[in-house]
Structure 1
């Protein structure tokens, strides 16, 4: 049995992962089921809902403004980074591993659901929670930190969506190296630690040697947060704020790095994601 002929344009775009066409209706059904399972799992729900906020609260004790970026703005944009790392990346690694070891993924593949639908459907709850927390962060920052309205809203939205896509793909690839849900605490550490250090959310990277700072600019979270700050504040911290059009020239380099990570993520998913249980 083949997928319906009336696959939407968005569905065709998702299908370009090389995992088959997708139906948004079937993705919605899988997503609702995953959301129920997530909310029933107190540990996973706590990690997704509270850990990013608690981590940012911890780092707020020693974070300070950087150049033209105030401490409040740095805290707000840092929250974006931890949402991507914990709500999207870490949460999805454990989700994919759990469904694989329970043979849920294998059973789903025997039906009409395509591979792309299975992967995207499992990611729906994490993405929904991430976007909700991003919206709440923006509202809280506007009210509590008296931050201005975003300079370039389309650029800000593009940065958030691109970041979600990158870390979903990294989660699918990382799950292939993760034998159990418990071992995800170990296998995700390289991405979590390097992303936090390289993007500057644990402290400024300005004092580091230029060669090392340049390497950090190539890590997956760094260009995403650069675009977030450009889209919201008009500056990544080193230059004076720019207007709606002015930030676009500054956004070129981070955008290119993001595109490279998207390509790397697709390739890594095709190569390393596992559908069958590891034990």
Structure 2
């Protein structure tokens, strides 16, 4: 009498973090489009742009007016508003509804969860930046002299500000509280980025301190990208250094943004809460 042994059950193949991130990014994109509050966050930078269009204008550099520089500075507000506002609101709501806990229990890595949200914020920030650049061209006829620098500024700002939004979630209990809590760092960062107050009006010491904030370098890079001038030390002594010279002048700002991304990333990994807060 012959005996047969049953074949061992096949184990399900594991999915890599990159594929999981891609899947979650598609889901995040769909949820973002359906989320009405997200569209409000996208509209706020456009509102700030229209406010900047109505400001008094005078020539600062040959062919570059103060109005153009103010409008360029509003491009640095995209990441602040979308990243801080959307990330804090959405992830707090998902934490309290146990969505994040179920994702972690199911084995989804943190990198995939955070990466999907960040990717969607970066995508929509770039799309809004393109729309704002088109509006600036339609009203003033000015295009950025260095589009690559403008793109880098928008992307790095979206990355760092999303991490700021994620850091807000451990401090609040629900999505409504997250919206209120996000307004404080959002307004501070908007003022520091030169959207409401031109940084050139500040004393040198105050300007040097503000330039270490995570939002200020993106606005400085946006203004440099539009004007072609080295505005990182202020308008008074600004020069037109050429393409490579402008990037050399922007390196400290890029370094500040990368440093903030690294620090904020470590803080999010250390202090982010996956379980709902207890009353």
CA–CA distance in structure 2, aligned partners of residues 109 and 38 of structure 1: 21
The match for 1:55 is 48
* Within-5 A mapping of 1:85-234: 85-148=80-143, 150-234=144-228
Residues 63 and 203 in structure 1, CA contact (< 8 A), matched pair in contact too: no
Return the index of the structure with the highest Cα Rg. Answer: 2
Deviations for 1:76-109, whole angstroms, at most 9, x for unmatched residues? 3233122112222211111111111111110011
Residues 176 and 274 in structure 1, CA contact (< 8 A), matched pair in contact too: yes
CA–CA distance in structure 2, aligned partners of residues 153 and 76 of structure 1: 15
CA RMSD of aligned residues (A): 2.4
Secondary structure, counterpart of 1:206 in structure 2: helix
Aligned residue-pair number: 260
Judged with a 3 Å threshold, the aligned counterparts in structure 2 of structure 1 residues 248 and 275 are, in CA distance, closer, same or farther, namely: same
CA–CA distance in structure 2, aligned partners of residues 250 and 123 of structure 1: 28
Secondary structure, counterpart of 2:243 in structure 1: coil
CA–CA distance in structure 2, aligned partners of residues 224 and 129 of structure 1: 16
Could you list the runs of 5+ residues in structure 2 that have no partner in the other structure? 1-11
Residues 73 and 222 in structure 2, CA contact (< 8 A), matched pair in contact too: no
User: How far has the Cα of 1:130 moved from its partner?
Assistant: 1.2
CA–CA distance in structure 2, aligned partners of residues 39 and 94 of structure 1: 15
Deviations for 1:183-221, whole angstroms, at most 9, x for unmatched residues? 123322332122111121102233333332221111111
Judged with a 3 Å threshold, the aligned counterparts in structure 2 of structure 1 residues 126 and 272 are, in CA distance, closer, same or farther, namely: same
Secondary structure, counterpart of 1:67 in structure 2: strand
Secondary structure, counterpart of 2:118 in structure 1: helix
Deviations for 1:99-152, whole angstroms, at most 9, x for unmatched residues? 11111110011224211101122333332221111112223323332113x333
Task: Provide TM-score, normalisation by structure 2.
Answer: 0.83
Deviations for 1:227-251, whole angstroms, at most 9, x for unmatched residues? 2222332122611333211202211
Could you list the runs of 5+ residues in structure 1 that have no partner in the other structure? 8-21
Secondary structure, counterpart of 1:109 in structure 2: helix
CA–CA distance in structure 1, aligned partners of residues 221 and 14 of structure 2: 37
Residues 153 and 221 in structure 2, CA contact (< 8 A), matched pair in contact too: yes
User: How far has the Cα of 1:63 moved from its partner?
Assistant: 6.0
Secondary structure, counterpart of 1:166 in structure 2: helix
Deviations for 1:47-90, whole angstroms, at most 9, x for unmatched residues? 23322212332344446568335244224323312211222221
The match for 2:72 among 59, 77, 86 is 77
User: How far has the Cα of 1:172 moved from its partner?
Assistant: 1.5
CA–CA distance in structure 1, aligned partners of residues 49 and 24 of structure 2: 31
CA–CA distance in structure 2, aligned partners of residues 258 and 58 of structure 1: 27
The more displaced of 59-68 and 162-171 is 59-68
Task: Provide TM-score, normalisation by structure 1.
Answer: 0.83
The match for 1:14 is none
